[in-house]
Structure 1
């Protein structure tokens, strides 16, 4: 094992925990609603926060998550899922604070595939990593965690 390069940071567990706690607190800042995950079926834009209208919005609970085993695990407001109004395949998503600030974005995959945001409730076609959802179905946020 070699020593880290001079330009590499190593972060201690206490700092990593503080960052997760700060992120969790930041998610819940705002009085107009809850933090949410916005799903998009479009191509991901070059610039973060410059987004089209979302395909679906999954409201998060308050608090928006919990810290477990070094991860901030997002908690949807409804464990049953969010109703799909228009059929589609989610390709990417934004993590949005209660005050509307976009805090992070990442790819969407089916549960267990390893995307930044994992969802369940649809069917995954052969050769795809994200499920297809049909109007009237439910999208469930399953394996979304920040570390």
Structure 2
């Protein structure tokens, strides 16, 4: 017997492969979120995506400001943690690595404050430009301080 005799077996096999691929991706995301820093970053990412969807809409400024508060709270808390990637950095360079991570987070917080000021002033176009700068900061920070998980797509939003 062959797969031609039972075409539904081929479809079932393809579905099993797809399910396995999706479950391994979800598992990798859950593993990352198990660390205290991962939980903070996940909360920031959720709020960050919401900001990106609504930053240009002045009628949603109140909610956008709430999302920025969530980002700020979690970013400040994330300063107390060290990225897992520190373990992969030579011991002599770990202090510099952590200092760079903290400086990047502080710079990100300054950008959050700039966006908050723009939104409070009703300058949504300016806030949208600031959001684009924040995306660049996030991308650069993830490249430098985040361990790329096996099989994970490149970090982007």
What is the TM-score of this pair, normalised by structure 1? 0.24
Report which of the two has the higher share of helix: 2
What is the TM-score of this pair, normalised by structure 2? 0.23
Report which of the two has the higher share of strand: 1
- If you compute each CA radius of gyration, which structure gives the higher value, 1 or 2? 2
